[in-house]
Amino acid sequence: MQPLWTEMTPEKSSYFSMSHLNHKDVHVMIFIGFGFLMTFLKRYGFSSVGINLLLAAFGLQWGLLMQGIWHLDGGKIKVSILKIINADFSTATVLISFGAVLGKTSPVQLLIMTILEITIFSVNEHLVVGLMKASDVGASMVIHAYGAYFGLAVARVLYRPGLRNGHENDGSVYHSDMFAMIGTIFLWMFWPSFNSAIAEPPLSYTQLTAVINTYLSLATCVLSAYAISSLVEHKGKLDMVHIQNATLAGGVAVGTCADMSIGPFGAMLIGFVAGIISTVGFKYLSPILASNLGIQDTCGVHNLHGLPGILGGLAGIVAAALGKKDGASATMQAAALGSSLGFALVGGTITGLIMKLPFWGQPPDQNCFDDSIYWEVRNPIPHKYYLQVSDCLVRVAEGRFVCSSY
């Protein structure tokens, strides 16, 4: 099974170039975007960006194998940039699901999830894209909705009653929210590349359409996310959780339709609605899911990827029915959405049951959301360091605060 990449000819080098460039943008989204978006937790930054790197590096190799198995060429797996992009895409589903169970799972559990989720993804993708010929260029359905509901199903199976009343470390501090904004902004900027990366042929009207539709949807989504955040919060203030996440919902929701002739107003309408439902979901739906359905969704992936993913799928059905893309069928779009959700919920439940087996080193409730269980943390902030106040170094000796000279 020696992979080859001889399918590349010099004539195709320009094609390669553009694909490679889109690939690099997708790469930035996977490693910086997803990695830093999850660093909002006050004591879980090492795991967020570090385990994200581990899962992504592992997932893209596994994804390359899975991509290859569906497209064997004389019994061999041939590597191409397009397959590498698809491997990155399949990895994105895992990182979305990671967000749902962030802080409550061990690296070993997550590696198991990576193997299973990418494998099941490749089956669903083959079914949806290969057999149904459904259109999903920016993968609202096969990546975002699939990844979100897969992760929510896992989270449901791994429900922890001990965290019902929250956890001291399940929240942000000022600087952790700043790190998370690095992730948000890089995701926001490069989303047009994500939604246009596999548009065919790469250097064309179609790809340009996908870029501009995504661009407009994202820009509009920012406005509605800010407006609704301010509306639903105390005294009209903005909430960092909404800004970090709901501003991206427009990119998710326009995914399926990105390369269709939906026009700028279509794209902006999708982005506008996505920003609203995402923010409202964070504010009102997530607490209900946690308290009533036992779905503890750490990052709120339901609001960033789940609901906007379904919105994207529905928009695709409508656009296909309105004839916005040659050859697209509303029936097949609906079947693709159903298939993606079905594989996600069934696959996620089975995966959750396997992850629940008691020997994968899962953290006890009190160590959730805490890097120090899996990482050497030399100097945790703000805990356990000697503190200097004015010119004194504060220590505790015999139960009293003692001021030593510095």
Residue 130 or 380 having the CB closest to its own copies: 380
Q: Is the peptide bond before 201 cis (omega within 30 degrees of 0)?
A: yes
Nearer to its own copies, 60 or 299 (CB): 60
- In terms of CB distance, is 181 or 354 closer to its own copies? 181
Give min distance, CB of 169 to its own copies, in A: 11
Specify the amino acid at residue 370: D
Q: Tokens 């975007």 — which residue?
A: 33
In angstroms, what is the minimal distance from the CB of 226 to its own copies? 5
Q: How far is the CB of 306 from its own copies (least distance, A)?
A: 23
Q: Tokens standing for 250?
A: 């427009």
Cβ-proximal residues to 35 (8 Å cutoff; 6+ apart), any chain: 48, 49, 52, 53, 56, 183
SS (H, E, C) 278-307: HHHHHHHHHHHHHHHCCCCCCCCHHHHHHH
Please identify which residue in the block is written with the tokens 């790809």: 207
| Contact present, 253 and 273 (Cβ < 8 Å) | yes
The string of DSSP codes covering 170-217 is SS--HHHHHHHHHHHHHHHHHHHHHHHTT-SSSSSHHHHHHHHHHHHH
Question: How far apart are CB 345 and its own copies at their closest, in Å?
Answer: 30
190 or 369, CB closer to its own copies? 190
Residue 355 neighbours by CB under 8 Å, 6+ apart: 105, 109, 112, 113, 154, 157, 158, 362
Name the minimum Å distance from CB 67 to its own copies. 14
Instruction: Please identify, using beta-carbon distances, which residue of 78 and 349 lies nearer to its own copies.
Output: 78
61 vs 331 by CB, closer to its own copies: 61
Q: How far is the CB of 220 from its own copies (least distance, A)?
A: 7
Contact 309, 253 (CB under 8 A): yes
